[in-house]
Amino acid sequence: MKLKPTLFILFVCAQFSAFAQPTWEVGNTTLTEYDLVTGTQLPWEILWGPDDHLWMTSRKGEVLRIDPATGSYTTVLQKNVMNGGNGEPGMLGMAMHPEWETTPKVYLVYCAGTSWNGEEYLCSFDWDGEALVNEEILLTLDAGGIHNGSRLLVLPDNTLLMTSGDVGSSALSQSMNSLQGKTLRLNLDGSIPEDNPFPDSYVYTIGNRNSQGLALGPDGIIYSSEHGQNSNDEFNIVQAGGNYGWPQVEGFCNTAAEQNFCAENDVIEPLEAWTPCIAVNGIEYYNHEAIPEWQHSVLLSVLGGLGGQYERLSVLHLSEDGLNVESEDQFFSSFNQRIRDIAVNPYTGSVYVAFNGTSYPGSGPNIIKEFRNESFASGIDQGPNLLQTVAYPNPADDLIQFQWQGDFGPLTYDIFGFSGQKMVSGQSRGGIIACETSDWPAGSYFIVLQHGEGSVTTTFQVQR
Ligand SMILES: [Ca+2]
Ligand SMILES: [Ca+2]
Ligand SMILES: [Ca+2]
Protein backbone atom coordinates (compact mmCIF):
# COMPACT_ATOMS: atom_id res chain seq x y z
CA MET A 1 0.00 0.00 0.00
CA LYS A 2 3.04 2.28 0.06
CA LEU A 3 3.32 2.32 -3.71
CA LYS A 4 0.43 4.57 -4.49
CA PRO A 5 1.44 7.62 -2.45
CA THR A 6 4.99 7.46 -3.88
CA LEU A 7 3.74 7.44 -7.44
CA PHE A 8 1.43 10.26 -6.65
CA ILE A 9 4.29 12.40 -5.26
CA LEU A 10 6.50 11.74 -8.28
CA PHE A 11 3.68 12.74 -10.57
CA VAL A 12 3.12 15.99 -8.70
CA CYS A 13 6.86 16.83 -8.71
CA ALA A 14 7.14 16.25 -12.45
CA GLN A 15 4.16 18.45 -13.11
CA PHE A 16 5.49 21.11 -10.80
CA SER A 17 8.92 21.30 -12.41
CA ALA A 18 7.43 21.41 -15.90
CA PHE A 19 5.41 24.46 -14.98
CA ALA A 20 7.85 26.19 -12.71
CA GLN A 21 10.89 26.86 -14.87
CA PRO A 22 11.83 30.51 -14.38
CA THR A 23 12.20 32.67 -17.46
CA TRP A 24 14.24 35.75 -18.28
CA GLU A 25 13.45 38.40 -20.85
CA VAL A 26 16.29 39.59 -23.10
CA GLY A 27 14.65 42.16 -25.36
CA ASN A 28 12.22 40.12 -27.46
CA THR A 29 13.83 36.81 -26.51
CA THR A 30 12.68 34.65 -23.61
CA LEU A 31 15.29 32.48 -21.92
CA THR A 32 14.14 29.53 -19.84
CA GLU A 33 16.32 28.71 -16.84
CA TYR A 34 17.27 25.09 -16.08
CA ASP A 35 19.46 23.63 -13.36
CA LEU A 36 21.71 21.41 -15.46
CA VAL A 37 24.09 20.11 -12.78
CA THR A 38 23.71 20.64 -9.08
CA GLY A 39 26.14 19.73 -6.34
CA THR A 40 29.36 20.42 -8.19
CA GLN A 41 32.37 21.77 -6.32
CA LEU A 42 33.71 25.16 -7.49
CA PRO A 43 33.34 24.82 -11.26
CA TRP A 44 36.18 26.90 -12.71
CA GLU A 45 36.17 26.14 -16.42
CA ILE A 46 33.15 25.00 -18.40
CA LEU A 47 33.43 24.46 -22.14
CA TRP A 48 31.62 22.76 -24.99
CA GLY A 49 33.73 19.83 -26.13
CA PRO A 50 34.17 18.50 -29.65
CA ASP A 51 32.40 15.34 -28.43
CA ASP A 52 29.24 17.41 -27.88
CA HIS A 53 29.52 17.15 -24.12
CA LEU A 54 29.98 19.91 -21.59
CA TRP A 55 33.32 19.64 -19.78
CA MET A 56 34.03 21.16 -16.39
CA THR A 57 37.04 21.61 -14.15
CA SER A 58 36.49 21.80 -10.42
CA ARG A 59 39.02 23.90 -8.54
CA LYS A 60 38.99 21.06 -5.97
CA GLY A 61 40.91 18.93 -8.47
CA GLU A 62 38.40 17.18 -10.70
CA VAL A 63 37.33 17.16 -14.32
CA LEU A 64 33.72 16.26 -15.12
CA ARG A 65 32.18 15.29 -18.46
CA ILE A 66 28.51 16.24 -18.56
CA ASP A 67 25.69 15.07 -20.83
CA PRO A 68 24.11 18.40 -21.77
CA ALA A 69 20.73 16.76 -22.39
CA THR A 70 20.36 15.22 -18.95
CA GLY A 71 23.01 16.81 -16.72
CA SER A 72 24.36 13.37 -15.81
CA TYR A 73 28.12 13.32 -15.58
CA THR A 74 31.19 11.21 -14.98
CA THR A 75 34.38 12.21 -13.18
CA VAL A 76 37.15 11.68 -15.72
CA LEU A 77 40.15 12.98 -13.73
CA GLN A 78 41.04 13.50 -10.09
CA LYS A 79 44.22 15.23 -8.87
CA ASN A 80 45.49 16.37 -5.48
CA VAL A 81 45.69 20.16 -5.71
CA MET A 82 47.25 22.85 -3.57
CA ASN A 83 45.38 23.32 -0.29
CA GLY A 84 42.53 21.21 -1.61
CA GLY A 85 41.40 23.97 -3.95
CA ASN A 86 40.17 26.01 -0.99
CA GLY A 87 41.89 29.21 -2.12
CA GLU A 88 42.72 30.64 -5.53
CA PRO A 89 45.01 27.81 -6.72
CA GLY A 90 43.68 24.41 -7.79
CA MET A 91 42.42 22.85 -11.01
CA LEU A 92 41.92 25.82 -13.33
CA GLY A 93 41.77 26.26 -17.13
CA MET A 94 41.08 23.62 -19.78
CA ALA A 95 41.16 23.37 -23.57
CA MET A 96 40.76 20.61 -26.18
CA HIS A 97 42.98 19.63 -29.07
CA PRO A 98 41.41 21.06 -32.25
CA GLU A 99 41.92 17.80 -34.19
CA TRP A 100 39.93 15.77 -31.70
CA GLU A 101 38.96 12.95 -34.07
CA THR A 102 42.59 11.93 -34.49
CA THR A 103 44.16 13.51 -31.39
CA PRO A 104 41.75 13.50 -28.44
CA LYS A 105 43.93 15.46 -26.03
CA VAL A 106 42.77 17.68 -23.17
CA TYR A 107 44.97 20.50 -21.84
CA LEU A 108 44.71 21.42 -18.17
CA VAL A 109 46.36 23.78 -15.71
CA TYR A 110 46.51 22.84 -12.03
CA CYS A 111 48.49 23.85 -8.95
CA ALA A 112 50.03 21.19 -6.72
CA GLY A 113 52.18 21.35 -3.62
CA THR A 114 51.98 21.70 0.12
CA SER A 115 50.05 24.44 1.87
CA TRP A 116 50.43 27.63 -0.19
CA ASN A 117 53.66 26.80 -2.02
CA GLY A 118 54.14 24.68 -5.05
CA GLU A 119 54.11 24.39 -8.81
CA GLU A 120 51.61 25.24 -11.47
CA TYR A 121 51.55 22.66 -14.27
CA LEU A 122 50.28 22.96 -17.80
CA CYS A 123 49.62 19.37 -18.89
CA SER A 124 48.11 17.38 -21.68
CA PHE A 125 46.09 14.21 -21.14
CA ASP A 126 44.73 11.62 -23.57
CA TRP A 127 40.99 10.95 -23.57
CA ASP A 128 40.53 7.17 -23.78
CA GLY A 129 36.73 7.31 -23.89
CA GLU A 130 36.34 6.94 -20.15
CA ALA A 131 39.06 8.92 -18.40
CA LEU A 132 41.94 11.33 -18.92
CA VAL A 133 45.19 9.34 -18.97
CA ASN A 134 48.85 9.66 -19.97
CA GLU A 135 49.61 12.96 -18.23
CA GLU A 136 52.40 14.89 -19.89
CA ILE A 137 53.77 18.08 -18.30
CA LEU A 138 54.32 20.76 -20.94
CA LEU A 139 55.27 23.67 -18.69
CA THR A 140 56.01 24.24 -15.00
CA LEU A 141 55.52 27.63 -13.33
CA ASP A 142 55.44 28.81 -9.73
CA ALA A 143 52.14 28.52 -7.91
CA GLY A 144 51.25 30.87 -5.08
CA GLY A 145 48.48 31.44 -2.61
CA ILE A 146 47.08 34.08 -4.95
CA HIS A 147 47.15 35.09 -8.63
CA ASN A 148 47.73 31.85 -10.53
CA GLY A 149 45.71 32.64 -13.65
CA SER A 150 45.01 30.55 -15.72
CA ARG A 151 42.80 30.30 -18.74
CA LEU A 152 43.74 28.33 -21.85
CA LEU A 153 42.70 29.02 -25.44
CA VAL A 154 43.60 27.18 -28.65
CA LEU A 155 44.06 29.65 -31.52
CA PRO A 156 43.12 29.01 -35.18
CA ASP A 157 46.83 28.45 -35.98
CA ASN A 158 46.87 25.49 -33.55
CA THR A 159 48.91 27.22 -30.89
CA LEU A 160 47.87 27.37 -27.25
CA LEU A 161 47.59 30.52 -25.13
CA MET A 162 47.92 30.33 -21.34
CA THR A 163 47.45 33.22 -18.93
CA SER A 164 49.75 33.21 -15.89
CA GLY A 165 49.39 35.26 -12.70
CA ASP A 166 52.02 37.30 -10.86
CA VAL A 167 51.64 34.99 -7.79
CA GLY A 168 51.50 38.16 -5.67
CA SER A 169 55.00 39.35 -6.73
CA SER A 170 54.04 42.20 -9.02
CA ALA A 171 57.58 42.99 -10.22
CA LEU A 172 57.64 39.63 -12.05
CA SER A 173 55.06 40.89 -14.55
CA GLN A 174 57.54 43.23 -16.27
CA SER A 175 60.49 40.79 -16.04
CA MET A 176 61.41 38.87 -19.17
CA ASN A 177 63.17 36.36 -16.89
CA SER A 178 59.90 35.15 -15.42
CA LEU A 179 56.91 33.35 -16.92
CA GLN A 180 54.64 34.87 -14.23
CA GLY A 181 52.28 37.75 -14.96
CA LYS A 182 52.18 37.02 -18.70
CA THR A 183 50.27 35.52 -21.55
CA LEU A 184 52.25 32.51 -22.83
CA ARG A 185 52.02 30.84 -26.24
CA LEU A 186 53.01 27.24 -26.96
CA ASN A 187 52.73 24.73 -29.73
CA LEU A 188 50.35 21.91 -28.87
CA ASP A 189 53.33 19.63 -28.14
CA GLY A 190 54.67 22.13 -25.59
CA SER A 191 57.43 23.57 -27.75
CA ILE A 192 57.99 27.29 -28.39
CA PRO A 193 56.41 28.56 -31.64
CA GLU A 194 59.00 29.95 -34.03
CA ASP A 195 56.96 33.09 -34.59
CA ASN A 196 56.57 34.03 -30.93
CA PRO A 197 57.30 37.76 -30.42
CA PHE A 198 60.38 37.18 -28.21
CA PRO A 199 62.96 34.68 -29.55
CA ASP A 200 63.09 31.31 -27.80
CA SER A 201 60.54 32.43 -25.24
CA TYR A 202 57.02 31.30 -24.36
CA VAL A 203 56.19 34.93 -23.54
CA TYR A 204 53.44 36.42 -25.73
CA THR A 205 52.47 39.45 -23.61
CA ILE A 206 53.92 41.05 -20.47
CA GLY A 207 52.65 43.36 -17.74
CA ASN A 208 49.65 41.22 -16.78
CA ARG A 209 48.51 40.86 -13.16
CA ASN A 210 46.11 37.93 -13.12
CA SER A 211 44.13 37.31 -16.27
CA GLN A 212 41.37 34.69 -15.90
CA GLY A 213 39.42 35.15 -19.12
CA LEU A 214 40.35 34.38 -22.75
CA ALA A 215 38.14 34.17 -25.83
CA LEU A 216 38.45 34.20 -29.59
CA GLY A 217 36.36 36.85 -31.33
CA PRO A 218 35.73 37.84 -34.95
CA ASP A 219 38.64 38.19 -37.39
CA GLY A 220 40.99 36.40 -35.01
CA ILE A 221 40.70 39.05 -32.28
CA ILE A 222 41.68 37.61 -28.88
CA TYR A 223 39.95 39.10 -25.86
CA SER A 224 41.05 38.77 -22.23
CA SER A 225 39.68 39.77 -18.85
CA GLU A 226 42.05 40.66 -16.04
CA HIS A 227 41.74 41.27 -12.29
CA GLY A 228 42.83 44.66 -10.95
CA GLN A 229 44.11 45.12 -7.40
CA ASN A 230 41.42 47.31 -5.84
CA SER A 231 40.55 49.32 -8.92
CA ASN A 232 40.72 48.85 -12.67
CA ASP A 233 39.59 45.40 -13.62
CA GLU A 234 40.35 45.28 -17.34
CA PHE A 235 38.96 43.96 -20.62
CA ASN A 236 41.78 43.78 -23.19
CA ILE A 237 42.66 42.71 -26.70
CA VAL A 238 45.67 40.37 -26.61
CA GLN A 239 48.39 41.42 -29.07
CA ALA A 240 51.70 39.66 -29.68
CA GLY A 241 54.55 41.30 -27.76
CA GLY A 242 52.23 43.73 -25.98
CA ASN A 243 52.96 45.32 -22.59
CA TYR A 244 49.77 45.65 -20.53
CA GLY A 245 51.34 47.90 -17.87
CA TRP A 246 51.06 46.09 -14.52
CA PRO A 247 52.27 47.01 -11.92
CA GLN A 248 53.22 50.52 -13.11
CA VAL A 249 49.90 51.07 -14.89
CA GLU A 250 46.40 50.18 -13.72
CA GLY A 251 43.64 50.51 -16.27
CA PHE A 252 44.10 53.47 -18.59
CA CYS A 253 47.25 55.61 -18.84
CA ASN A 254 45.66 58.47 -16.95
CA THR A 255 48.05 59.64 -14.24
CA ALA A 256 51.27 61.58 -14.89
CA ALA A 257 53.45 58.65 -13.79
CA GLU A 258 51.44 56.23 -15.87
CA GLN A 259 51.59 58.43 -18.95
CA ASN A 260 55.40 58.52 -18.76
CA PHE A 261 55.63 54.75 -18.38
CA CYS A 262 53.05 54.17 -21.11
CA ALA A 263 54.91 56.38 -23.58
CA GLU A 264 58.29 54.75 -22.85
CA ASN A 265 56.95 51.19 -22.96
CA ASP A 266 54.21 51.41 -25.57
CA VAL A 267 51.63 50.12 -23.09
CA ILE A 268 48.37 48.75 -24.51
CA GLU A 269 45.36 50.22 -22.72
CA PRO A 270 42.23 48.18 -21.99
CA LEU A 271 39.01 48.56 -23.97
CA GLU A 272 37.14 48.85 -20.69
CA ALA A 273 38.03 49.19 -16.99
CA TRP A 274 35.89 48.80 -13.86
CA THR A 275 36.54 50.69 -10.61
CA PRO A 276 36.14 49.51 -7.90
CA CYS A 277 36.95 45.95 -8.94
CA ILE A 278 34.01 43.72 -9.81
CA ALA A 279 36.27 40.62 -10.26
CA VAL A 280 36.06 39.77 -13.95
CA ASN A 281 36.43 36.14 -15.00
CA GLY A 282 35.61 33.70 -17.82
CA ILE A 283 34.54 35.17 -21.17
CA GLU A 284 32.98 33.90 -24.40
CA TYR A 285 32.33 35.61 -27.72
CA TYR A 286 28.62 35.18 -28.48
CA ASN A 287 27.23 35.45 -32.00
CA HIS A 288 24.48 32.85 -32.10
CA GLU A 289 21.10 33.45 -33.75
CA ALA A 290 19.34 31.98 -30.71
CA ILE A 291 19.69 35.23 -28.75
CA PRO A 292 19.79 37.99 -31.37
CA GLU A 293 20.08 40.66 -28.65
CA TRP A 294 23.45 39.18 -27.61
CA GLN A 295 24.93 38.67 -31.07
CA HIS A 296 28.41 40.10 -31.58
CA SER A 297 29.04 40.55 -27.87
CA VAL A 298 31.42 39.19 -25.26
CA LEU A 299 29.74 37.49 -22.32
CA LEU A 300 31.73 38.29 -19.18
CA SER A 301 31.46 36.32 -15.92
CA VAL A 302 31.61 38.63 -12.91
CA LEU A 303 32.45 37.17 -9.50
CA GLY A 304 31.39 40.30 -7.66
CA GLY A 305 34.48 41.63 -5.88
CA LEU A 306 35.74 40.89 -2.38
CA GLY A 307 32.58 42.29 -0.85
CA GLY A 308 30.46 40.18 -3.19
CA GLN A 309 28.22 43.02 -4.31
CA TYR A 310 28.65 43.10 -8.11
CA GLU A 311 27.89 39.52 -9.18
CA ARG A 312 26.42 39.30 -12.67
CA LEU A 313 26.75 38.18 -16.26
CA SER A 314 27.81 41.21 -18.27
CA VAL A 315 27.09 41.44 -21.98
CA LEU A 316 29.71 43.65 -23.64
CA HIS A 317 28.29 44.80 -26.97
CA LEU A 318 31.11 45.26 -29.49
CA SER A 319 31.60 47.80 -32.23
CA GLU A 320 31.25 46.41 -35.75
CA ASP A 321 35.01 45.87 -36.09
CA GLY A 322 35.17 44.22 -32.65
CA LEU A 323 37.82 46.67 -31.46
CA ASN A 324 35.68 48.61 -28.97
CA VAL A 325 33.00 48.01 -26.36
CA GLU A 326 29.93 50.11 -27.10
CA SER A 327 27.74 49.24 -24.12
CA GLU A 328 27.29 46.80 -21.23
CA ASP A 329 24.08 45.04 -20.21
CA GLN A 330 23.86 43.10 -16.96
CA PHE A 331 21.92 39.94 -16.13
CA PHE A 332 21.45 37.43 -13.29
CA SER A 333 22.70 39.69 -10.47
CA SER A 334 19.63 38.70 -8.45
CA PHE A 335 21.13 35.24 -7.84
CA ASN A 336 23.74 36.96 -5.59
CA GLN A 337 26.14 34.20 -6.66
CA ARG A 338 29.68 34.52 -7.94
CA ILE A 339 29.67 33.76 -11.68
CA ARG A 340 32.93 32.00 -12.62
CA ASP A 341 32.56 30.92 -16.22
CA ILE A 342 30.26 30.38 -19.14
CA ALA A 343 29.97 28.10 -22.16
CA VAL A 344 27.75 28.16 -25.23
CA ASN A 345 25.89 25.27 -26.88
CA PRO A 346 26.78 25.69 -30.57
CA TYR A 347 23.54 24.08 -31.75
CA THR A 348 20.88 25.64 -29.52
CA GLY A 349 22.76 28.81 -28.58
CA SER A 350 22.03 28.06 -24.93
CA VAL A 351 24.33 29.73 -22.43
CA TYR A 352 25.64 27.66 -19.51
CA VAL A 353 26.62 29.59 -16.39
CA ALA A 354 28.84 28.21 -13.59
CA PHE A 355 28.28 29.62 -10.11
CA ASN A 356 30.84 29.67 -7.26
CA GLY A 357 28.90 30.49 -4.06
CA THR A 358 28.41 33.80 -2.33
CA SER A 359 31.78 34.94 -0.98
CA TYR A 360 35.48 35.03 -1.84
CA PRO A 361 37.20 32.71 -2.69
CA GLY A 362 34.07 30.66 -3.32
CA SER A 363 32.48 27.64 -1.69
CA GLY A 364 30.48 24.67 -2.86
CA PRO A 365 28.24 22.95 -3.58
CA ASN A 366 27.46 24.89 -6.71
CA ILE A 367 25.24 24.77 -9.72
CA ILE A 368 25.59 24.99 -13.49
CA LYS A 369 22.51 26.56 -15.01
CA GLU A 370 21.40 26.57 -18.62
CA PHE A 371 19.56 29.52 -20.16
CA ARG A 372 17.80 28.39 -23.33
CA ASN A 373 15.65 30.09 -25.95
CA GLU A 374 13.06 27.31 -26.25
CA SER A 375 11.47 28.65 -29.40
CA PHE A 376 14.84 28.50 -31.20
CA ALA A 377 16.08 25.26 -29.62
CA SER A 378 12.90 23.33 -30.37
CA GLY A 379 13.34 24.13 -34.05
CA ILE A 380 16.79 22.64 -34.46
CA ASP A 381 17.42 20.36 -31.53
CA GLN A 382 14.51 17.95 -31.54
CA GLY A 383 12.83 15.54 -33.87
CA PRO A 384 14.06 12.10 -34.90
CA ASN A 385 17.59 11.75 -36.14
CA LEU A 386 16.57 9.82 -39.23
CA LEU A 387 19.61 10.56 -41.34
CA GLN A 388 22.98 8.96 -40.96
CA THR A 389 25.12 11.77 -42.24
CA VAL A 390 28.79 11.48 -43.09
CA ALA A 391 31.16 14.40 -43.68
CA TYR A 392 34.30 13.77 -45.75
CA PRO A 393 37.12 14.48 -45.95
CA ASN A 394 37.16 15.44 -42.31
CA PRO A 395 39.11 17.60 -41.63
CA ALA A 396 38.64 19.38 -44.95
CA ASP A 397 41.08 21.64 -46.79
CA ASP A 398 38.78 22.96 -49.49
CA LEU A 399 35.83 20.88 -50.72
CA ILE A 400 33.78 19.04 -48.11
CA GLN A 401 30.97 16.65 -48.94
CA PHE A 402 28.05 15.41 -46.87
CA GLN A 403 26.38 12.17 -47.75
CA TRP A 404 23.42 10.37 -46.22
CA GLN A 405 21.18 7.39 -46.78
CA GLY A 406 17.46 7.27 -47.31
CA ASP A 407 14.99 9.16 -49.41
CA PHE A 408 13.57 11.98 -47.35
CA GLY A 409 12.61 14.32 -50.14
CA PRO A 410 13.94 17.86 -50.39
CA LEU A 411 16.25 19.07 -47.63
CA THR A 412 17.43 22.47 -46.52
CA TYR A 413 20.76 22.87 -44.85
CA ASP A 414 22.69 25.48 -42.86
CA ILE A 415 26.35 25.35 -41.92
CA PHE A 416 27.49 27.19 -38.81
CA GLY A 417 30.82 27.95 -37.19
CA PHE A 418 31.13 27.06 -33.53
CA SER A 419 30.69 30.66 -32.45
CA GLY A 420 27.31 30.63 -34.15
CA GLN A 421 27.97 32.46 -37.43
CA LYS A 422 26.15 31.03 -40.43
CA MET A 423 28.55 30.15 -43.25
CA VAL A 424 26.24 28.91 -45.96
CA SER A 425 22.65 27.75 -46.55
CA GLY A 426 21.04 25.80 -49.34
CA GLN A 427 18.65 23.11 -50.54
CA SER A 428 19.25 19.63 -51.83
CA ARG A 429 17.22 16.87 -53.43
CA GLY A 430 19.91 14.25 -53.87
CA GLY A 431 21.92 12.26 -51.38
CA ILE A 432 24.97 14.49 -51.38
CA ILE A 433 25.95 18.10 -50.69
CA ALA A 434 29.33 19.61 -51.58
CA CYS A 435 30.61 22.88 -50.12
CA GLU A 436 33.71 24.97 -50.81
CA THR A 437 35.43 25.87 -47.52
CA SER A 438 38.70 27.33 -48.77
CA ASP A 439 37.97 30.87 -47.55
CA TRP A 440 36.68 29.80 -44.12
CA PRO A 441 38.90 30.13 -41.04
CA ALA A 442 40.31 26.91 -39.63
CA GLY A 443 38.16 25.50 -36.87
CA SER A 444 35.09 23.49 -36.00
CA TYR A 445 31.81 23.72 -37.92
CA PHE A 446 28.54 21.85 -38.04
CA ILE A 447 25.82 21.27 -40.58
CA VAL A 448 22.13 21.24 -39.70
CA LEU A 449 20.04 19.25 -42.19
CA GLN A 450 16.31 19.96 -41.99
CA HIS A 451 14.02 17.35 -43.50
CA GLY A 452 10.32 16.63 -43.35
CA GLU A 453 10.44 14.88 -39.98
CA GLY A 454 13.10 16.76 -38.08
CA SER A 455 16.70 17.78 -38.24
CA VAL A 456 20.10 16.21 -37.84
CA THR A 457 23.50 17.72 -37.19
CA THR A 458 27.05 16.65 -37.90
CA THR A 459 30.28 18.28 -36.73
CA PHE A 460 33.36 18.65 -38.92
CA GLN A 461 36.69 20.46 -39.03
CA VAL A 462 38.30 22.83 -41.51
CA GLN A 463 42.09 23.02 -41.50
CA ARG A 464 44.34 25.46 -43.27
CA1 LIG B 1 34.38 28.62 -20.65
CA1 LIG C 1 46.67 46.73 -17.96
CA1 LIG D 1 45.35 54.26 -14.63
Are 443 and 417 contacting, i.e. CB atoms less than 8 angstroms apart? yes
SS3 (DSSP) at 416: strand
* Ligand showing the shortest atom-to-Cα distance for residue 238: 2
Query: Does residue 347 sit in the same domain as residue 419?
Result: no
Residue 98: give the domain boundaries.
21-378
**Percent of the chain scored above 70 by pLDDT?**
90
User: Could you tell me if residue 6 is inside a domain?
Assistant: no
Ion ligand 1: residues, Cβ under 5 Å? 47, 282, 341, 343
Are 447 and 426 contacting, i.e. CB atoms less than 8 angstroms apart? no
User: Which helix (H) or strand (E) segment is 4 a member of?
Assistant: helix 3-20
Supply the CATH number for residue 408's domain: 2.60.40.3080
**How would you classify the pairing of strands 222-226 and 211-216?**
antiparallel
Look at residue 185 and tell me whether its pLDDT is greater than 90: yes
Query: Does residue 452 sit in the same domain as residue 337?
Result: no
* Ligand showing the shortest atom-to-Cα distance for residue 254: 3
- Region 226-237: mean pLDDT is 98
Confidence of residue 12 (pLDDT cuts 50, 70, 90): very low
Look at residue 44 and tell me whether its pLDDT is greater than 80: yes
The one-letter amino acid code at 284 reads: E
338 CA to middle of ligand 3, Å?
26
Mean model confidence pLDDT for the chain:
90
Ion ligand 3: residues, Cβ under 5 Å? 250-252, 254
Confidence of residue 17 (pLDDT cuts 50, 70, 90): very low
221 CA to middle of ligand 2, Å?
17
* Ligand showing the shortest atom-to-Cα distance for residue 270: 2
Instruction: Kindly state the DSSP code that residue 182 receives in the 8-state scheme.
Output: S
Look at residue 174 and tell me whether its pLDDT is greater than 70: yes
Look at residue 455 and tell me whether its pLDDT is greater than 90: no
- Work out how many domains the chain is built from and give that number: 2
Confidence of residue 407 (pLDDT cuts 50, 70, 90): low
The tens digit of pLDDT for each residue in 50-92 reads 999 999 999 999 999 998 988 889 999 999 999 999 999 999 9
The tens digit of pLDDT for each residue in 304-356 reads 987 888 999 999 999 999 999 999 999 999 999 999 999 999 999 999 999 99
User: Could you tell me if residue 237 is inside a domain?
Assistant: yes
Catalytic residues, which ones?
147
449 CA to middle of ligand 1, Å?
28
N residues, the chain: 464
* Ligand showing the shortest atom-to-Cα distance for residue 282: 1
Confidence of residue 1 (pLDDT cuts 50, 70, 90): very low
The tens digit of pLDDT for each residue in 347-363 reads 999 999 999 999 999 99
Are 139 and 186 contacting, i.e. CB atoms less than 8 angstroms apart? yes
85 CA to middle of ligand 3, Å?
32
User: Could you tell me if residue 4 is inside a domain?
Assistant: no
Query: Does residue 210 sit in the same domain as residue 282?
Result: yes
Q: How far apart are CA 294 and CA 288, in angstroms?
A: 8
Query: Does residue 216 sit in the same domain as residue 283?
Result: yes
162 CA to middle of ligand 1, Å?
14
214 CA to middle of ligand 3, Å?
22
Query: Does residue 274 sit in the same domain as residue 333?
Result: yes
Instruction: Kindly state the DSSP code that residue 15 receives in the 8-state scheme.
Output: H
Q: Is the pTM of this model over 0.85?
A: no
Q: Which residues of 66-89 are buried (b: 16+ CB within 10 A; e: fewer)?
A: bebeeeebeebbebebbbebebbb
Confidence of residue 9 (pLDDT cuts 50, 70, 90): very low
* Ligand showing the shortest atom-to-Cα distance for residue 47: 1
The tens digit of pLDDT for each residue in 19-29 reads 468 999 999 99
307 CA to middle of ligand 2, Å?
23
Query: Does residue 345 sit in the same domain as residue 408?
Result: no
213 CA to middle of ligand 1, Å?
8
Ion ligand 2: residues, Cβ under 5 Å? 244-245
**Percent of the chain scored above 90 by pLDDT?**
76
Query: Does residue 171 sit in the same domain as residue 320?
Result: yes
244 CA to middle of ligand 2, Å?
4
Residue 7: phi and psi, rounded to 5, are: -60, -40
Q: How far apart are CA 179 and CA 187, in angstroms?
A: 16
The predicted pLDDT at position 178 comes to: 98
Query: Does residue 231 sit in the same domain as residue 261?
Result: yes
Q: How far is residue 269 CA from its own chain's centroid? A: 24
User: Could you tell me if residue 340 is inside a domain?
Assistant: yes
Sheet of strand 91-96: strand arrangement: 91-96, 105-114, 117-127, 132-143
Query: Does residue 108 sit in the same domain as residue 150?
Result: yes
Q: Last residue of some domain: 357, 378, 399?
A: 378
Look at residue 143 and tell me whether its pLDDT is greater than 60: yes
